[in-house]
Structure 1
Amino acid sequence: MDSHSKPPRLMDRVTAVMRVKHYSLRTEKTYCYWIRFFIRFHGIRHPAGMGAPDVHAFLEHLAVERHVAAATQNQALNALVFLYRQVLEQPLGDIGEFSRAKRPRRLPVVLSHEEVMRVLSQLSGPMHLMAALMYGAGLRVTEVCRLRVRDIDIERQILTVRSGKGDKDRTTLLPHRCIMPIQKRITQAQHLLNRRLDNDQVPVTLPHALGRKYPNAGLSLAWQWLFPSTRPCFDPDGKVVLHHLHTSAVQKSVRQAMRRVDLTRPGSCHTLRHSFATQLLSRGTDIRTVQELLGHKSVETTQIYTHVLGNGFAGVRSPLE
């Protein structure tokens, strides 16, 4: 190494460590945001010259002054723990007691089957199919956007969710009503791939270092996105690639559809996933099976839907009845 070369900047080191450890691009952006926020909060001081008391003050500020949600405060804490442990190699240790943002217990908003059908009737094309998969297969919006041709098993009617929440893979239902539209999407993916092969050969984005291990994988049908973006973009390394549809476009379409049908409760893409769970439980599906289909780490997370259904009262009837 050239003796006059400068050591990498802090944020470059943060990015490099996260890519070596195969963190998702979404996590990378989030952690970088909180690390920069922490540095600015302390007057552009280098984190190596700070420690647990400074992290404590920052987290206290988020809860007391900015009134952030509990999940947001935990996100910031995780980013700083990563910075000090994995990048600076000086673990924080005990940062002491700090004001915790309160995590209010909220029941999820769910829709009846009839309400979901009304919402789907307001959507068309890929947005209709994506919303149908969120309701019919219990997918998160990020999971449906990231579906590739290889994740579809039409013969067994199974969808494979890869690198879902917690970087876990799982399988879930492929609704029969979605098979024909999915087959059309696969045919369209093949036509789009053929055009790219005839012209600029833009590959799709691939996970981790797969593109280096299998250079032609990005130009094979199996790895094509089921819902590709309409135009290429640059990946983190500066290469021109084809990414999937952005989640914000799907979220906007679903919100607009829900507004058009005048629902009494505000909803979102995640409402469709909640409705999937409650529909299965109301039809007698075992809660452990629902847990597996949703990809929940703990059955306690899935049990929240029993409260939505009113099944948590052990058969107790109101004295007014």
Structure 2
Amino acid sequence: MLRHLMMTATVATLVATGASAETLRYATSRDVYGLDPHATTDSFTNIFTHHIYEPLVRYDADMKVEPALATSWEVIDPTRVRFKLREGVTFQGGETFGADDVQVSLMRAADLKSPLRGNLPGLKAVEIVDDLTVDLILEGPTPLLNNYLTNIFVMDKGWLETHNSVAPIDASQGEEGYTTNNANGTGPFALESRRPDALNVLVVNDGWWDTPQHNLTRIEHTPIGSDATRVAALLSGEIDLIEPAPLQDANRIDGSDGVHMLQNPGLRSIMMGINMGDSLIDGNVEGNPLKDLRVRQAMYHAINMDLIRDRIMRGKSRVTGSLIAPAVKGYSDAMDERLAYDPVIPPESKGLRK
């Protein structure tokens, strides 16, 4: 893996200033893979389902972990962490939230057949202490446990059992079930209707335990695959917000009356991975030249990252030397330095780290 070759692209989001204060008409380049929060690791799908479902802990606006469905946690020993659950929470179907829901949800996500199991490594079991207390049993010390849990959403056990959906499904393999097009969470919005590849409608959950940070009562999400059509829908006022904003249209959109483009640094790094195996998957040479440090150094210096940033990304990215974005815990300024593009001078004189 060539850690130095990567870019962190900004997220371009567009909001029409004349939008209704209650209904948000939202368009994206594609639909979600479904509404089952354990059926895929796709980032966009998980972001969308987070409107409906909630984890034990979540990130705040500053990327710090804070309580959500759990109010506190305690390390009992290196392989046992106890979570106290929030009292008075109900699912959108009216069911009471409790320890059995956490147990079935976390074990469903960690099941060997679940595509999400890699997002919760080391979980062996969930033991119920009482109705509002659970112990997570781990294979060993897991300092990033709460970070993992921010992406593991809790479902209602009884609802899953009623609809024969306790077993996980894998959306990447084309599997579907009742949970694909139906939902029952504890989050700020509830599913009103879903028409795959056409329209997803969410309505505000008036019984949500937390305080809303918005004035919305309804979200209408429309997948629009064509960049041109999506932009036209925004500029005509048919849509209030689109994501992503096509890079080639960003300046034109930003200069349009009644439209404002919001930009912020993203957390995703675009990178090139290197095959370090004994042979190339496709190739007509013996062995694997990429195992030679000098070859990797030559590739590093021969790629003009500034040109990629300026031409391909149209200035909407940042050249970085680190896989970790500045907002993520563990980021280091010292690791974010990248050596300059220089295809002429031998890399040995540059002091490149191995």
Query: Structure 1-normalised TM-score?
Result: 0.22
Which structure dedicates a bigger proportion of its chain to helix? Answer: 1
Which structure dedicates a bigger proportion of its chain to strand? Answer: 2
Query: Structure 2-normalised TM-score?
Result: 0.20
Considering Cα pairs closer than 8 Å and 6+ residues apart, tell me whether 1 or 2 has the greater RCO: 2
